[in-house]
Structure 1
């Protein structure tokens, strides 16, 4: 049962003045200093009473919004048999991030980072007909991921709490409907938290599928990046962002470019050095990068010298997993590679940014030499043109003429249209209305519960501490008794505590025998929205001081007015 009122002398509670030495972002430092979490080991944390109270409120909001969509809550095991993961193909694909273990009978298991295998097996066992769908099941469960370098506290931990949901439909129309409801559900959750966010199209990654959106909370210390347009509704994950380059007339207006020729460039193997040596801007240099697939086939990707190759876009374009082919291309003159005269067995793909450009330089495919005066439409014919690079500052929105804006953020949610990726592999089939056997169409929808707690602190803090949104603040009001040893102050504070308790208001009562300054600093650090200060003059004038954590506004009121304000906050105006 949720604890609505506490006296700090009876509460397991501690705060810290100093930041922990290993805190790499402000939110993590505040989580430790405010006593919300305690570190057990790298990437493993205990939620203390105050932190668990906030976590419970986040879970409550998530459950309310999920239940309103008609989704049903279940609870699946964290310990999962390897057989199911082998069947889906992810046992080999997932790599060292997957916690693997054996039981006493030498059977293999894993600690689940996600639950697609378990839920698809449930579908295989229980869904037989189109009449059994649509269905959307969710859980709030502990997940595990063996992070190579756990950091940022509970933002990138090895054990974390997630809400994950899985939908099952007989057709794409029903999948679209549930996907839309989950998109709206996640938006509602974040809006109830009062956070600034973007929902952006994203890469499907190891989960797979054909379509997905990420929900990104804006935070200057976030490790994700989004791109959005201030002039229209366009936004995207940095890895998936479409864009248009600003036209550089000097690169596109040259006429009658002479035939390309070879120049000696001894010892020059990087773009910056070549730009200086040839007195050409990096935009005029073609960078040739080699990738390989699982069958060791080699692909050459051509991008402008000032751009970075985006492997996520490349993989989406080709529909296969690729990685850099450094070990396989020792015979391809790395540093001097280029499109003209490249081995015909290597398929060439060129970025759209190179289209129609002339007067370019590139490697000559032999050590110590480069080519100049390359015309990109005349001198090589790529297998295909495409968008293969990351956007940069100064790039233009694909839908209008505004310059794109780049922001850092924290991913807290991700929704996917999985299609039949798992149901086909794991034989989750159903009979349609015509009696034909078909694979179930799936979607999955994850949101990080513990991650939300960390993201809220990262976005909503100031120099004094956490600034909780009202929806998840551990307590609404903190009664601060100045000089608790004074009998009049203590009896007045006790009386106010009882009145607030009877009003159903969540109250923290700081009845510790410590200096007033310590109480004020602790209250600001842990982010209680309202301070109710009981001073030594209360027995005489029957007034208290209220102070709002969010903006520091203060007012002296009689007790009844103060309680009425607290009960109506935040719907009422400032005092």
Structure 2
């Protein structure tokens, strides 16, 4: 019900938008949906596919692309000297293997003090929100002095083989072979590592999806920046249970109230409309949320016939229900037209000497800058009809 209302609101606002999965964050509850409007200035990133998948990258999941050039399997891990190579790039270049053939190892300590070694493909990025979900709580990167004490390893050469701590491995590592991992001693790595054979791990989705991955429905994922314009949090009894907030059902039984949290951002919707629809000349407001329906530009000084016609038309436009921005400044046509395009009212009407001579009002639709002519007789009504036809 609520999602349907949000859908209709954003459609009426003229936005391109997606509803996708989101992290519940500190709100908690059973799940969350975000409404995202794609645009280059967006602060969020959305994973989308032509199969209808949409999710904030904070929680998006998908099948990883295969590693191109993965080394062949070995019977057992083999040590290899890698002096001075403490990064994925350095090891990849020295051994001539793709970054995806390396195991990236990230030692963390949970809020409860448990050391955990998180491992994922060398070409993948850790998703801290997913990691929090996998660990059941927060964590922090291990301090340098904790590497030896808690993990039995050294910086730059950390690996899961023989790890002293519990290992949490990303799902994309499962089934791979011929991998390269740190040997837990300085200037040395292991090649030919196989998850499951050479180390045991708890598997979880802890990586950030990448463009080109496959969504759960099989579509190819693409990433787009977007503005979050609304959200729905399905709170369930997250707050009512500790508060003891109940109601009596039709049978007289006491039950916990189910809650939801619903938010729409009017300022964000306006910002998304500006970003999505503006052109090189300025804003092009959708009709439904434009601050003014029409901008009326008069090219004539006080006391002229043009000014008198514009004053009469202004009143008639108001009578047919249009909100009008009236530009009667003492400025040239170029300045007035440029400002009208910058402000972006859906429709511009121009009254000038040529209007009187031709017996027509000049009308220009802001989006697409399409020109129309409206006869003086009934011009206000014709303008209202034209305005109602606009997106």
TM bin (shorter chain):
over 0.9
Structure 1 position 392 matched with structure 2 position 199? no
Separation of aligned partners in 2, 1:196 and 1:281: 38
Number of equivalences: 387
CA shift for structure 1 position 562: 3.5
1:416 Cα deviation from its structure 2 partner: 0.9
1:72 corresponds in structure 2 to none
- 2:288 is matched with which residue? 471
Cα distance in 2 for partners of 1:462, 1:439 equals 51
Structure 1 residues 318 and 282: CA distance shift in structure 2, 3 A: same
- When normalised by structure 1's length, the TM-score is 0.64
Q: Please give the per-residue CA displacement for 1:236-293, whole angstroms capped at 9, x wherever unaligned.
A: 11121121123347538x45x2311222222211100011111111111001112222
* 1:23-34 map, 5 Å: none
Asked if residue 358 in structure 1 is aligned to residue 177 in structure 2, the reply is yes
* 1:532 matches 2:353: no
Say if 1:249 and 1:449 are closer, same or farther in 2 by CA, change over 3 A.
Answer: closer
Q: Is the 8 A contact 2:14 2:273 kept in 1?
A: no
8 Å CA contact 2:347–2:387 kept in 1: the answer is: no
The 3 A distance-change label for structure 1 pair 327 and 208 is farther
Alignment of 1:531-550 (within 5 A): 531-550=348-367
Equivalent-residue separation in structure 2 for 1:398 and 1:329 (angstroms): 38
Cross-structure match for 1:214: 34
Choose 1 or 2 for highest CA Rg: 2
2:348 maps to 1:348:
no
Q: Partner of 2:220 in structure 1?
A: 403
Residue pair 2:40, 2:225 contacting (<8 A) in 1 also? yes
Alignment RMSD (CA, Å):
2.2
Cα gap change, 1:342 to 1:451, in 2 (>3 Å): same
Alpha-carbon distance, 1:214 to partner: 0.5
| Alignment correspondent of 1:334 | 155
Change (3 A) 1:216 1:351: same
**Stretch deviating more after TM superposition (444-453 or 469-478):** 444-453
Does structure 2 retain, via aligned residues, the 8 Å contact 1:492–1:538? no
Indicate the SS of the match to 1:299.
strand
- How far is the alpha carbon of 1:531 from its aligned partner? 1.0
Is residue 333 of structure 2 the alignment partner of residue 502 of structure 1?
Answer: no
Match of 2:90, SS state, is helix
Give the SS at the match of 1:371: strand
1:555 to 2:376 alignment: no
Specify whether residues 538 and 449 from structure 1 end up closer, same or farther in structure 2 by C-alpha distance, changes over 3 A only: closer
Instruction: Find the aligned partners of 1:321 and 1:573 in 2 and give their Cα distance.
Output: 50
Residue 315, structure 1, aligned to residue 116, structure 2: no
1:187 aligns with 2:7: yes
Tell me, in whole angstroms, the C-alpha distance in 2 between the residues paired with 1:318 and 1:528: 52
Counterpart secondary structure, 1:479: strand
| Distance change (3 Å), C-alpha of 1:553 and 1:303 | same
Give the CA deviation at 1:482.
0.7
Q: Which runs of 5+ in 2 are unaligned?
A: none
TM-score of the superposed pair, with normalisation by structure 2: 0.92
Structure 1 residues 441-482: Cα deviation after superposition (integer angstroms, max 9, x where no partner):
221111212222222212221111111000011111111111
Against the structure 1 CA distance between its residues 311 and 500, is the aligned structure 2 distance closer, same or farther, given a 3 Å change threshold? Answer: same
